[in-house]
Structure 1
Amino acid sequence: MALSMLSAYAQDPAMALRAMHQQLAPQLASNPFQRPLHLQSQQTEERLQGDIYAVLDQPFSLVGAALQDGNNWCDILILHLNVKRCLASSDQPEQVLNIHIGRKIEQPLAEAALFQFDYRAVSATADYLKVQLNADEGPLGTSLYNIDLQVVALDAERSFLHLSYSYTYGLAANLAMRGYLTSLGRDKRGFSVTGHNENDKPIYIDGMRGVIERNTMRYYLAVEAYLSALGTPPAGQLEQRLAHWQSAVEHYPQLRELEPEEYLSMKREEIRRQESAQSRLYNTPKTRSLNCQAAACQ
């Protein structure tokens, strides 16, 4: 690729993302997902990363506005099986998402790990959005968690999205993950095909790359479920998001963990807990005073 073109892409990330859409055209047109979606992963000695590229049948005017608001991200992230609660700080522009991540069952928050993700809208234009969620620390010596999302307008009705999820791990996390993958997680797989067996059936990636692929896909489906419900009247959006996420998961054996009613029951309770905590947060005396400056609050 010519240096002039590389320079143009560096200066115009929207152009670069559209070029990626063209480059991935064969993979988007034909893949095991049976939809315009491409997933890839990579692992080094210290870092795992999963990337999803997908065409959304929704205009950028809707997608960009929804994903630019940091407060909406808690409604997105809580759909993930392992996210137990997400609370967004009210301070702008340095917004923090306090996220509890735990097991795939109902559990007290004290048993879940707390992550503090800094939320930032890096770029927001009429046809392009880039947001980043970064957490410095995680459990077992994991660190530098990144959820990066880019979306660009393709035409009046479609958008193209790139979601990247990555983190750094050390010896303790590596040993813990190996223990999990040789016991409870020994039969779990990702989505990348590494070969075929004697019956010509695909062999899917396992190990830590399988883990990052499953979680990247779960985060993508959470974004998709949130966007899909925006056309529903507000009172019905929550149930629409939950139903969409659960229905999407059922298409992929790699992601099935709970029976549908188990997931729905768990998430309804976790969301009630989240909404109650958010209500208390925004009704503290300090916050209430700020919210009432333009009105007479009793």
Structure 2
Amino acid sequence: MNRLFLCASLALALLLPVASHAAGALGPAGLRSHHSAIGAQLANNSFGGPLVLQSEEVSRRVDGDVYAVLEHPFPAVAAALKDPGQWCEILILHLNTKFCRRSEEQGATRVEVRVGKKQPQSVQAASLLAFTWRPPRMQSDYVAVQMDAADGPYDTRDYRLLAEAIPLEGGRTFLHMGYALSYGGASDFAMQLYLGTIGRDKVGFTRIKAPRADDDGFVGGMRGVVERNTMRYYLAIDAYLDSLSAPAGQQLEKRLQAWFDATEKYPRQLHEVAREDYLQMKRSEVQRQSVAR
């Protein structure tokens, strides 16, 4: 029985990042206002770049937002974000994403994501999250996309993943990526078991107390899970966009290398596997995903 609960808790910990996404889009005016409001934080933070990561945990609800300035022009960002197929190329960079595809069902577009272990795993053994893709909102100076899933595994529900962006001066783009999910008692129990065992040393990026000899003060628990994976998905978007400047045959390797290098800048939070293990696994998973199209 203990082994069963542990397996469930591990699976839930892997699933939460993919499925937890944002409270709602701000819209073009709101996004411009927010960019101005957090200007000081974008210029001075612990990430070494223009990034603000926020999270909130309430009763059986997890919400998070990442705001970042991308060194990529708005047209390129908008073209990538509005295409569910390109989202699959982004999502597959994450360690726990085993497979992703766009599908059409009864006139609706879905983004089907399989998530699982940080090691090689069959598609069938990974858990399915089927997101309904909403038509993107496109303007000359704004793009917004959203995916929703009503239900998920391990007593989770009301998934939302969104991203919106506006152009900035100098060929840059301001990005907001948001996430949210609700979870029930079974999910809560499984997550607490995970965080009390092999996940006890996992932390996020927000420092909630002064460091001590035995405690660096970073947030843990569910907020830590969300913060780690919010950062992973932001880095995936950035790595994907950066790879588009390379010749087509070199783009995959460039984005895989860039994503791993970026995560290694935050080893306390994000280091999980050796470089070559990650690269070999992802090359295989991307090939599997391409063949299945």
TM-score, scaled to structure 1: 0.86
Please state if 1:56 is matched with 2:42. Answer: no
Q: Distance in 1 between matches of 2:176 and 2:102?
A: 23
Q: Which amino acid in 1 is paired with 2:274?
A: E
> Secondary structure of the residue that 1:177 maps to in structure 2?
helix
Compared with structure 1, are the counterparts of its residues 201 and 110 closer, same or farther at alpha carbon in structure 2 (3 Å cutoff)? Answer: closer
Match of 1:158 in 2: 172
Q: Distance in 2 between matches of 1:65 and 1:241?
A: 17
Match of 1:255 in 2: 270
> Secondary structure of the residue that 1:151 maps to in structure 2?
strand
Q: Which amino acid in 1 is paired with 2:109?
A: Q
State the Cα distance separating 1:202 from its structure 2 match.
4.6
Q: Deviations over 1:36-86 (max 9, x none)?
A: 000010011121112100001111111111211111111011011111000
State the Cα distance separating 1:156 from its structure 2 match.
4.6
Q: Distance in 2 between matches of 1:156 and 1:128?
A: 16
Compared with structure 1, are the counterparts of its residues 91 and 158 closer, same or farther at alpha carbon in structure 2 (3 Å cutoff)? Answer: farther
Q: Which amino acid in 1 is paired with 2:68?
A: A
> Secondary structure of the residue that 1:241 maps to in structure 2?
helix
Q: Distance in 1 between matches of 2:90 and 2:113?
A: 12
Match of 1:292 in 2: none
| Match among 196, 203, 206 for residue 189 of structure 1 | 203
Q: Which amino acid in 2 is paired with 1:257?
A: E
| Match among 192, 195, 199 for residue 178 of structure 1 | 192
> Secondary structure of the residue that 1:109 maps to in structure 2?
coil
Instruction: State whether residues 60 and 188 of structure 2, in contact with CA within 8 Å, keep that contact through their aligned partners in structure 1.
Output: no
Q: Distance in 2 between matches of 1:179 and 1:202?
A: 22
State the Cα distance separating 1:167 from its structure 2 match.
1.1
State the Cα distance separating 1:240 from its structure 2 match.
0.8
Q: Distance in 1 between matches of 2:136 and 2:68?
A: 20
Q: Deviations over 1:177-216 (max 9, x none)?
A: 1111011100000000111124698510000100011111
Compared with structure 1, are the counterparts of its residues 91 and 60 closer, same or farther at alpha carbon in structure 2 (3 Å cutoff)? Answer: farther
Q: Which amino acid in 2 is paired with 1:275?
A: S
Match of 2:242 in 1: 228
Q: Which amino acid in 2 is paired with 1:242?
A: L
Please state if 1:145 is matched with 2:159. Answer: yes
State the Cα distance separating 1:90 from its structure 2 match.
4.9
> Secondary structure of the residue that 2:121 maps to in structure 1?
coil
> Secondary structure of the residue that 1:103 maps to in structure 2?
coil
Instruction: State whether residues 88 and 95 of structure 1, in contact with CA within 8 Å, keep that contact through their aligned partners in structure 2.
Output: yes
Compared with structure 1, are the counterparts of its residues 93 and 28 closer, same or farther at alpha carbon in structure 2 (3 Å cutoff)? Answer: farther
Q: Distance in 2 between matches of 1:116 and 1:198?
A: 43
Compared with structure 1, are the counterparts of its residues 122 and 58 closer, same or farther at alpha carbon in structure 2 (3 Å cutoff)? Answer: same
Gaps of 5+ in 1: 1-9, 279-298
Compared with structure 1, are the counterparts of its residues 221 and 93 closer, same or farther at alpha carbon in structure 2 (3 Å cutoff)? Answer: farther
Q: CA RMSD in A?
A: 1.9
Match of 2:55 in 1: 41
Q: Which moved more, 1:89-98 or 1:43-52?
A: 89-98
Q: Distance in 1 between matches of 2:226 and 2:174?
A: 22
Instruction: State whether residues 54 and 66 of structure 2, in contact with CA within 8 Å, keep that contact through their aligned partners in structure 1.
Output: yes
Match of 2:290 in 1: 275
Match of 1:264 in 2: 279
Q: Distance in 2 between matches of 1:30 and 1:273?
A: 41
Please state if 1:65 is matched with 2:75. Answer: no
Q: Distance in 1 between matches of 2:132 and 2:86?
A: 14
Match of 2:224 in 1: 210
> Secondary structure of the residue that 1:191 maps to in structure 2?
coil
> Secondary structure of the residue that 1:205 maps to in structure 2?
coil
State the Cα distance separating 1:91 from its structure 2 match.
6.6
Instruction: State whether residues 82 and 136 of structure 2, in contact with CA within 8 Å, keep that contact through their aligned partners in structure 1.
Output: no
Q: Distance in 1 between matches of 2:56 and 2:284?
A: 35
Q: Which amino acid in 2 is paired with 1:260?
A: R
Q: Deviations over 1:104-159 (max 9, x none)?
A: 11112222110101122341111100000111111111011111101001125111
Match of 1:21 in 2: 35
Match of 1:237 in 2: 251
Q: Which of structures 1 and 2 has the bigger CA Rg? A: 1
Instruction: State whether residues 195 and 203 of structure 1, in contact with CA within 8 Å, keep that contact through their aligned partners in structure 2.
Output: yes
Instruction: State whether residues 83 and 100 of structure 1, in contact with CA within 8 Å, keep that contact through their aligned partners in structure 2.
Output: yes
